[in-house]
Structure 1
Amino acid sequence: MDDDGIETDAKAADEGPGPGAPVPASAAWREGDHPGRRIFLNIGDLALDADPMGTLPQTTLAYETWGTLNKAKDNAVYVAHALTGDSHVFGPAEPGHHTGGWWNAMVGPGRPLDPERHFIVCANVIGGCQGSTGPASPHPEDGRPWGSRFPYLTLRDMVRAEIALMDHLEIDRWRLMTGPSMGGMRALEWTVMAPGRVGAIAPVGSTAASSADQIAWSTPQIAAIQADPHFNGGDYYDAPAGRGPHRGLGIARMIAHTTYRTMQELDTRFGRAYQGESDPLGKGGLFAVQSYLEHHGRKLARRFDANTYIRLVQAVQSHDVGRDRGGVETALARYTDPAVIIAVDSDRLYPLRDSQRIDAALTGSTGLKVVHSIVGHDGFLVESGQLNAFMSEFERAL
């Protein structure tokens, strides 16, 4: 499992959810599909951060819950998903949910976030492709997918929608808000946008502001999708299966996945080994690491949407909790409630120094916790033993 998912030799790039089935033009959840465990909230017109005069009309947020909100309403936990996650943070693959919970190691009976003790909430972000309003959703004017018309979003827009969900659930204050990567970024935004409504935060493998290096890595991912001849400027939803921009999306995921792992892990795991008996030295075969990346490229194309990938990557690029707030340190200094900052020591996407900066800026921080791993950014999913120990210690102290 990895931060955000994929599978690509020439034949396999056109394979879909079943053996030999072509990849759909978009794997977004669409109206009429099985709802799974999703609950749908109409939050109306949503004001957009990057355009003070703009709104996203008739916005819907898809969310799931586990456990029961107690009478005091003080056991609510919000889990914010990473780039290609969704609301299905816990549970099996089932009708309406093509994959199992993306954080089953953290959420569930006997886990640090336990539905027997907590009321756990997770929503698919706006701009997403698993039930919330996004590029694949019907435009209110003509019922056709938004496609190229879908607006630019920031993480602050996503948080504004999550605040509307909190109000709908009649929750005054989260006991804890946590999430990895992009989820951790939104947890930080919550502390500024909804002061007093977050009792504790636990960002994992995250940052307070996207750096030039992080923006640089994500830029060719967007370019790869836009260069796909089947992207059609973002209006590809009517294309038949096998004729969508899944190759560009797969390449984007291969680039991203390289940043989720480390040089040491890739060298140790694959070295210069060939894939099977194939010879990559001019004979058409692949190195094992190439096959691995292509596998992850195909996986994402079978469960995600290319336009959504672009919009969410752009939102992450926009992330700076200090923007128009006097800088990162000034913005985060306003939050004085408990916090634990968790980093992976080998993370080359969001390196340790990013978490150190967050930790130093938060007066309520209980200290930086470091997961030791050769895996890199994906350590937040792979190293569940260390991560769960940190989260359990922090949560039980609240």
Structure 2
Amino acid sequence: MRRDVDRAAITASGAWREGDDPGPRLFADLGALPLEAGGRLPHVRLAYETWGELNEAGDNAVLILHALTGDSHVTGHGPPAGGADEGWWAQVVGPGRAIDTDRYFVVAPNVLGGCQGSTGPSSPAPDGTPWGSRFPVLTVRDQVAAEIELADRLGIGRWSLVVGASMGGHRVLEWAVMAPERVGAIAVIASTAQTSAEQIAWAHTQLAAIRLDPGWLGGDYYSAAPGRGPHVGLGLARQIAHTTYRSPAELDARFGRLPQHAEEPLAGGRYAVQSYLDHHAGKLAVRFDANSYLTLTQTMITHDLGRDRGGVEAALAQIEAEALVVAVDSDRLFFPAESERIAAAVARSGEVAYVRSLNGHDGFLIEHDQVSALLGRFLRSVAPVARTSR
């Protein structure tokens, strides 16, 4: 946990709640949703943001699907701010960017099960209290089913491009199989068609970190006082995950065995890399919800495009969309070989495109120039749209 964060001031959950400032979020109430594992959610709401305008032909829509702890705020809604409100992909999406909001109508939902306005464990259940421990198991297919409903509400019959990285890439692939007639092209970045044993193992330790936190209270911690929620477990889960997001070479080059400022490791002080992980643990504890982290991590564990479809290769072969598959060469969470497996089985995919980076999995967030070049070129080739006049 960050030492510059006052633990006592951290609220039990960093989720967006009714009554909070919605900012640029819009909301769609989608009704009941049957779930793949059985049962249903009686009411689903998705928070989302949009940029640009849907043209008269309705053929310039782009869907962006975020990663595990991302949200709908992909980029700003005005001139670049250059600050914290800029958005997590602001160098890739916006006027004149690779995904040009002067040309395309861009939609980014907060994933079902998330905590930034969409229905998730922190949302009110039918009795008016947070779902908490009662929230049902979700799969990637459930999340995409909700996003299909959102597209219906927005009047979008077909996406020019569905793009996502990491966990977002799981949903991209499901979109292409579940609703092939509604997807013109896909871009799958630093992702996989089927969670591996190693990925499940990394996720398992993160789930355990949260569940073993005494403040988790079995998932029903929302009325806990500040400082009493499961922020230590959530922070530890983030530290485990963040280690998989970076490469050994990057961590060594950046931190080596340097101590953190004046701290002395032989006297109980931290190395710089420990401080770095503490920093990211504290950041997430402030802005995220532990139950959402559990729910979304569980969807990643169960992700398998080939389930009940004859296996992964058979499912990938069903994809009709033009496909761009991108790997980060130093990724040790979703290894490049997993991208190669996708590209080899999708009929309308070329060879895997590589982002060259020391930054590991997070290269899809950091290497803006490379990602922009790949996406911009692909999007112009599959969905050329005239610039919107203003």
Same fold (TM over 0.5): yes
**Moved segments of 4+, more than 4 Å:** none
Matched, 1:107 2:93: yes
For structure 1, the residue ranges without an aligned partner over 5 or more in a row are 1-7, 16-20
Matched, 1:256 2:248: no
What secondary structure, in the 3-state scheme, does the structure 1 residue paired with 2:360 have?
Answer: coil
The answer (yes or no) to whether the contact 2:340–2:351 under 8 Å persists in 1 is no
| Aligned position for 1:363 | 347
Q: 2:149 aligns with which of 164, 168, 172?
A: 164
For these two proteins, the number of residue pairs brought into alignment is: 379
Deviations 1:207-232 (A, max 9, x none): 00000000000101000001111100
The answer (yes or no) to whether the contact 1:338–1:366 under 8 Å persists in 2 is no
Q: CA deviation at 1:98?
A: 7.2
Task: Rate the CA distance shift 1:221–1:92 in 2: closer, same or farther, 3 A.
Answer: farther
Deviations 1:15-43 (A, max 9, x none): 4xxxxx71110010000111111111110
| Aligned position for 2:285 | 301
For structure 2, the residue ranges without an aligned partner over 5 or more in a row are 383-390
Matched, 1:14 2:6: yes
**Partners of 2:355 and 2:264 in 1: CA distance:** 38
| Aligned position for 2:204 | 219
**Partners of 2:354 and 2:261 in 1: CA distance:** 37
**Partners of 2:157 and 2:11 in 1: CA distance:** 41
| Aligned position for 1:154 | 139
* CA RMSD between the two structures: 1.5
Q: 1:187 aligns with which of 166, 169, 172?
A: 172
Task: Rate the CA distance shift 1:98–1:240 in 2: closer, same or farther, 3 A.
Answer: farther
| Aligned position for 1:34 | 21
| TM-score normalised to structure 2 length | 0.95
The answer (yes or no) to whether the contact 1:92–1:101 under 8 Å persists in 2 is no
The code of the aligned residue for 2:240 comes to: I
Q: CA deviation at 1:170?
A: 1.1
**Partners of 1:395 and 1:381 in 2: CA distance:** 18
**Partners of 2:85 and 2:245 in 1: CA distance:** 20
Q: CA deviation at 1:14?
A: 3.4
**Partners of 2:25 and 2:320 in 1: CA distance:** 34
Q: CA deviation at 1:397?
A: 0.4
Deviates more, 1:123-132 or 1:99-108: 99-108
**Partners of 1:98 and 1:145 in 2: CA distance:** 28
Q: 2:122 aligns with which of 103, 116, 136?
A: 136
The answer (yes or no) to whether the contact 2:35–2:138 under 8 Å persists in 1 is yes
The answer (yes or no) to whether the contact 1:91–1:100 under 8 Å persists in 2 is yes
**Partners of 1:382 and 1:131 in 2: CA distance:** 26
Q: CA deviation at 1:284?
A: 2.5
| Aligned position for 1:56 | 41
The answer (yes or no) to whether the contact 2:176–2:321 under 8 Å persists in 1 is no
Task: Rate the CA distance shift 1:308–1:338 in 2: closer, same or farther, 3 A.
Answer: same
| Aligned position for 2:334 | 350
Greater share of helix: 2
- How much identity, in percent, do the aligned residues show? 59
Deviations 1:176-206 (A, max 9, x none): 0001101111000011111211000001000
Q: CA deviation at 1:99?
A: 4.5
| Aligned position for 2:72 | 87
| Aligned position for 2:388 | none
Deviations 1:364-396 (A, max 9, x none): 013310011111000001111111111111011
